[in-house]
Amino acid sequence: MGNALTQKQSTVSVDESASGEELSGASSMTCSTSILKLFEKLELTADEGNTHPGELSRKTFENAFHGPLHKFGKLMFRQMTNSHVERDRITREEFVTAGTEIVNKFDVTDQRKYYIKLFAEGKDYLTKEDAFQMVHVSYVLTVSVSKISFKHDDRDVALFEGMVTSMFGIEDRIGFSHTEQWMVTHCPNIFSGVHSWVYMVLSGSNLPSEMEARTAHVPQLENFISGQHCLSLGMAWVLSAVLPNSFTHTTPQPQTSGAQSNPMLTNFQLYVSLARLPRVQSWALLYNSERDGLSRNRFSHHILSYHGHNLTFVGFEGRNLYCLALDCGWKESLQKIGGPDCRLIQLLPVYRVIQAGSKMVLWNMSSRNLPKGIQVGQDGKPLVLKINDEFESVSHYGVPCVFHRMEVWGCGGEDVKRAQVKQKQWEAQEVEKHKSQKLRLEGDWRENPDKQILEWGGVRTGSSYSEKR
């Protein structure tokens, strides 16, 4: 399964690599100037006991990183000094050279190697504690670059622990190659937000505290923090890092003449777009079983007229939560549906991509020749989930489980959502129209065209439906 998934997941990063190539045209002189300006700003934050002309103390550098980012500041200083032994100072020249090296890492593979090494803290392997720190800090940095205030969520902690469990299995430590291979298969863009944040700090001469101050009200993303949905903000981040780009949509921003003439500004804008998490703002809640009721009728009512990419979350006993990513609309069919961008992902209690590719789902409501209900699993692979016809229970690899909840989010963007609303309005009008056309047998039967058709066929209708004389 790993090799097949690796091939499919590798396509997720194509756009990022292509964009990285666009970034490579940045002026190295402009880059060095921005990093030097950041060095000078950091110098100004040093207290009297840590001022060294032309040098920056470790304490001054680390103190610029607050809260959950303080650990990242420690790791960054070690990595920028490029030493297995902790040093107390970094020179201006070393800072600019190291910063330029980071900014110029446009390739996704190079970024993975760099940040895996960073979180290993000088070792040639990762411990479970290192891995959890890596996942957690990557999330916090992505939230920061997305201009959202960080808030602790127990659901996210459980997800990150599940990612570490998936990464390590029964091992206590794993090497860099194993870590990278896991990422390629299960979370290929985990460092997209990290590198976006680092790039914005270095190329924009921004102190970490200045990044924190730029939070904004983003209702679409803050909905995930409310706790009212299966989908948490941490889950949205992980999904944005693993799902193909077809599940995320952005509104193209017009490029200004200043951006065209300033390569650093162009790079800055591109890296903001590569943070990925902001792209999920277009996801729209279609169905929530706790709000709408857990039944086949309620499910079909809310999702059948949505003809676009969507995410279906299935929660059941054992703390299990699955995400089915469909690259087409839901529909009843005697053949399995789904294209090459489909994914079946287990989020809890262990995070992993279970299956990837086409012909993922079969939904049968009427045929007597096939089991009724929803079946999830590709041909030739295990049937992972089966939901019975009335949504009363779910089977997990053939084991019956108590069905807790179900949720569907549309990922097709505003146009697809508007088309669904328009379709529902038309359906409602048709229902009202047919209600008004119901036969009033005692009064209207003689004028009904169906009466003439029946009589042409030899059926006598007068004695049953004629008006009393």
Q: What would the mean pLDDT of 414-422 be, rounded to a whole number?
A: 78
Q: What would the mean pLDDT of 118-138 be, rounded to a whole number?
A: 96
Q: Which of 89-93, 98-102, 279-283, 439-443 has the lowest mean pLDDT?
A: 439-443
Q: What would the mean pLDDT of 196-208 be, rounded to a whole number?
A: 87
| Second CATH level (architecture) for the domain 29-226 | Orthogonal Bundle (1.10)
CA nearest 196: which of 235, 158, 233, 240? 240
Q: Exposure pattern of 225-241 as b/e (b: 16+ CB <10 Å)? A: beeebbbbbbbbbbbbb
What pLDDT digit, counting tens, does each position of 321-350 carry? 999 999 999 999 999 999 999 999 999 999
Tokens at 133, concatenated: 């720190």
What percent of the chain stands above pLDDT 70?
Answer: 75
Number of helical (H) and strand (E) elements in the chain, helices listed first: 22, 15
Tell me the backbone φ, ψ of residue 65, rounded to 5 degrees. -105, 120
User: What would you measure as the largest C-alpha separation in the chain, in angstroms?
Assistant: 113
User: Residue 16 in contact with residue 273, Cβ under 8 Å?
Assistant: no
CA nearest 387: which of 369, 406, 414? 406
> What is the gyration radius of the CA atoms in the chain, in angstroms?
28
CA nearest 286: which of 427, 431, 424? 424
Spatial separation of the C-alpha atoms in residues 53 and 51, rounded to whole Å? 7
Q: What would the mean pLDDT of 427-439 be, rounded to a whole number?
A: 67
Q: Residue 51 pLDDT more than 80?
A: no
Q: Residue 5 pLDDT more than 60?
A: no
What pLDDT digit, counting tens, does each position of 103-122 carry? 889 889 999 999 999 999 98
Q: What is the pLDDT of residue 38?
A: 93
Q: Residue 440 pLDDT more than 90?
A: no
Residue 307: which H helix or E strand, with range? none
Q: Residue 441 pLDDT more than 60?
A: no
Q: What is the pLDDT of residue 352?
A: 98
Q: Which of 13-27, 171-185, 370-384 has the lowest mean pLDDT?
A: 13-27
What pLDDT digit, counting tens, does each position of 351-397 carry? 999 999 999 999 999 898 899 999 999 999 999 999 999 999 999 99
What pLDDT digit, counting tens, does each position of 31-50 carry? 788 999 999 999 888 877 66
Tokens at 293, concatenated: 């009721």
Q: Is 120 helix (H, G, I), strand (E, B) or coil?
A: coil
Q: What is the pLDDT of residue 457?
A: 53
The verdict on whether omega for the bond into residue 349 sits within 30 degrees of 0, i.e. cis, is yes
Q: What is the pLDDT of residue 208?
A: 86
Q: What would the mean pLDDT of 232-246 be, rounded to a whole number?
A: 93
CA nearest 272: which of 283, 284, 261, 259? 259
CA nearest 229: which of 48, 47, 408, 415? 408
CA nearest 82: which of 108, 64, 102? 102
What pLDDT digit, counting tens, does each position of 299-311 carry? 999 998 899 999 9
Spatial separation of the C-alpha atoms in residues 40 and 43, rounded to whole Å? 5
Cα dihedral: 412, 415, 417, 420 (round 10): -120
Sorting pLDDT into bands at 50, 70 and 90, what band is 257? very low
Spatial separation of the C-alpha atoms in residues 423 and 256, rounded to whole Å? 38
Residues in a beta bridge with 338: none
Question: Long-range contacts made by residues 58-66, C-beta under 8 angstroms, separation at least 24?
Answer: 58/86, 58/87, 58/88, 58/89, 58/90, 59/88, 61/90, 64/207, 64/208, 64/209, 65/208, 66/208, 66/209, 66/212
Q: Is 216 helix (H, G, I), strand (E, B) or coil?
A: coil
Q: What is the pLDDT of residue 340?
A: 97
The per-residue pLDDT of the chain, averaged, comes to 82
Q: Residue 260 pLDDT more than 50?
A: no
Sorting pLDDT into bands at 50, 70 and 90, what band is 218? low
Q: Residue 13 pLDDT more than 80?
A: no
Q: What would the mean pLDDT of 198-225 be, rounded to a whole number?
A: 75
Residue 448: which H helix or E strand, with range? none
Q: Which residue has the higher pLDDT, 23 or 99?
A: 99
Q: What is the pLDDT of residue 12?
A: 40
Per-domain residue ranges for the chain? 29-226, 227-251+280-440
